[in-house]
Amino acid sequence: MVSLSSPSAGSANVLSKSPSQSPEYLSEIGYLAQEIPMYSRLNAKEHIEMGQHLNSNWDSELAIKRLNELSIPLDRPVGKLSGGQRAQVALGLALAKKPKLLLLDEPVAALDPLARVDFLKSLARAVTDAEGELTVVMSSHLLADLERVCDHIIILASGDTQLCDDIELVLKSHKLLVGKRQEVTSNNNYTIIQQTETAKETTMLVKLRASKLHDPRWHIRNVDIEEIVLAYMGQKRDLADTIAAKGGSLR
**Contact between 26 and 58 (Cβ < 8 Å):** no
Report which residue type is found at 16: S
**Contact between 178 and 218 (Cβ < 8 Å):** yes
Instruction: Indicate the DSSP class of residue 158.
Output: T
User: CB 32 → other proteins: shortest distance, Å?
Assistant: 9
Sign of the torsion formed by the C-alpha atoms of 120, 41, 70 and 59: negative
Cβ within 8 Å of residue 229, ≥6 positions away? 143, 155
The rounded distance, in Å, linking the Cα atoms of 12 and 14 is 6
Instruction: Pick out residues in 84-113 that bind other proteins (CB under 8 A).
Output: 93, 97
Cα angle, residue 149 at apex, residues 143 and 154 outer, rounded to 5°: 55
The reply to whether 11 sits near other proteins by the rule CB under 8 A is no
Which residue's CB is nearer to other proteins, number 38 or number 231? Answer: 38
Backbone angles phi, psi at 4, to 5 degrees: -75, -30
User: CB 51 → other proteins: shortest distance, Å?
Assistant: 7
Instruction: Pick out residues in 13-52 that bind other proteins (CB under 8 A).
Output: 21-23, 26-27, 29-31, 33, 35, 37-40, 42, 46, 49-51
Q: Which of 13, 53, 161, 200 binds other proteins (CB under 8 A)?
A: 53
3-state secondary structure of 175: strand
Q: Segment near other proteins (CB under 8 A), from 55-63, 116-124, 208-216, 237-245?
A: 55-63
The reply to whether 135 sits near other proteins by the rule CB under 8 A is no
Which residue's CB is nearer to other proteins, number 22 or number 187? Answer: 22
The rounded distance, in Å, linking the Cα atoms of 131 and 133 is 6
Which residue's CB is nearer to other proteins, number 55 or number 203? Answer: 55
User: CB 135 → other proteins: shortest distance, Å?
Assistant: 16
User: CB 202 → other proteins: shortest distance, Å?
Assistant: 47
The reply to whether 2 sits near other proteins by the rule CB under 8 A is yes
Report which residue type is found at 205: L
Residues near other proteins (CB under 8 A) are 2-6, 21-23, 26-27, 29-31, 33, 35, 37-40, 42, 46, 49-51, 53-57, 93, 97
